[in-house]
Chains A and B, each alone.
Chain A
């Protein structure tokens, strides 16, 4: 199967910032979330893809065609910028029809396309309103509709929900995902929030200071982070320095052994939800037990290091507990 989007060793310079050799493939109909902290180069990468910035090296293919130096109008990307950038002095309908007037892709009736976009995104009630009078959620839908009117091959969403109130974000993310499934449109969604990314992504691509650090399905990034940065970004919480001797490393009562493990210092990473507080395990004392939206997070002092355990019970500070560490869940990365 051909790739909907292929990025090969893309580099770009923007003042002091440098995007260094980014390579990425996106499959047709895939929902890829480009994730990373602020200033890591996500927006720069999106702007390179839609042609608003020029790369200093590398190539971009959309639908198998090299568009590295193509005009933005010829790339067939649907770009929804972070702050939507609706044409401010116009109405919602003017914004929507703008793309239809110019697009060279319309073979049939533009009215059919317009009607289906309006219906799909429920834009009817505010079509004739000036965009400056719309709410954040309405603006977001108009911006998405405008991008879809151009019949893009790839949809590029730059922080599509960050300008919305917290209470709306979940719902809008669900709607985005449903829409993407329905249209089977290849989508790249930029965000810096892990919860948001996990709620929509088929695959994640994590960036840090101009580099792509790890790409893969959400499970892979969560369970098998490529390095300490990925582990910390995905809230792994348990990061322990360990030493492998003779292909073995001991973690409490568990032992990890592999002939592939070379002697040396490693980071042992295990997510809090895989640890449990049983009668069998490493003895420790509860430091703190706090509620989070989805679980109770308990920090336990195990002497040499601290462990974070996610389960459903609040423990008292100072309680004696035993931390069970399942060896098969521990991921080792050389330091």
Chain B
């Protein structure tokens, strides 16, 4: 009797605890929808400045998520596979952007481009400060750390022996990596892409600091929300927030579908 009651109590406590956070999120979303407003829900599509911010948000976040994956795959692989001196320090370095307030990354980037190498890059390679490439750079710096972490976990779940067997079967090191390890880690890598994208899509602080918020140039949806809110347009800020939440949700569903993971 006691064990049965204990089992029920355990399940009830765990279920309540697990449902608390989703309930908070659902409440926030519901409040956003229920808040009285008298602006068009198609705001980001109808107003040119907001449409630009909307398109720029999508383009830069996808670009930086791809870049994050490009950096995260080799870094995650290195952290997962190699046991060499200094690897722990490297692991710690990859954690730093996650632990730091995002604003610090913006400050760091701004300072770097004031140095001689930074100025040379700006002059001869590409102008980053207060420009679109700068947005991608700032988003990538923030999201690559998350992508690397998830990529590492994905590779941790793929036995290194698989690549070894593939090599004895005639494949080169690259073929074994591409056809076996990368293919086996695919669900995790998709997860890394999604996390990188959501981080980049929602990033605000470092971009505002490093690239500014210039209408029709460097304004993103996240910055639009801040701008609208700062001038008291709460209902417009809310519409933009709902759009951001809807886009993030749609991407999540799409990528889960690609990864053939059941949604529920």
Contact = CB atoms under 8 A, between A and B. Distances in A.
A102 B184 contact: no
Given A98-B169, A99-B170, A102-B171, A87 B180 contact: yes
B3 interface: no
A51 B168 contact: yes
Interface in A56-91: 71-73, 75, 77-79, 81, 83, 85, 87-89
Contacts of B171: 73, 98, 102
Nearest to B186: A89
A150 B180 contact: no
A87 B176 CA distance: 11
A71 B161 contact: no
A6 interface: no
Interface residues of B, number: 18
B40 interface: no
A85 B172 contact: no
B175 interface: yes
**Which of A81, A103, A149 gathers the greatest number of chain B CB atoms within 10 Å?**
A81
A250 to B, nearest CB: 55
B189 to A, nearest CB: 13
Contact of A77 (B161, B168, B172): B168
Interface residues of A, number: 27
Contact of B183 (A51, A78, A89): A89
Contacts of B183: 87, 89
Interface in A127-167: 146-147, 149-150
B164 interface: yes
Interface in B140-193: 159, 161-162, 164-172, 175, 179-180, 183-184, 186
Contacts of A52: 164, 167-168
B169 A99 contact: yes
Interface centre among B170, B175, B183, B184 (most CB of A within 10 A): B170
Given A79-B165, A102-B175, A85 B159 contact: yes
A51 B159 contact: no
Contacts of B175: 102
A73 B159 contact: no
A50 interface: yes
Nearest to A89: B184
Contacts of A75: 168
Given A88-B184, A89-B183, A89-B184, A103 B169 contact: yes
Interface centre among A71, A147, A149 (most CB of B within 10 A): A71
Residue of A79, A99, A102 ringed by the most chain B CB atoms within 10 A: A102
10 contacts: A47-B164, A51-B167, A52-B167, A52-B168, A73-B171, A85-B165, A89-B183, A89-B184, A98-B179, A102-B170
Given A85-B161, A87-B166, A87-B183, 13 more contacts: A52-B164, A71-B167, A73-B168, A73-B170, A73-B172, A87-B162, A87-B180, A87-B184, A98-B166, A98-B171, A103-B170, A104-B170, A146-B169
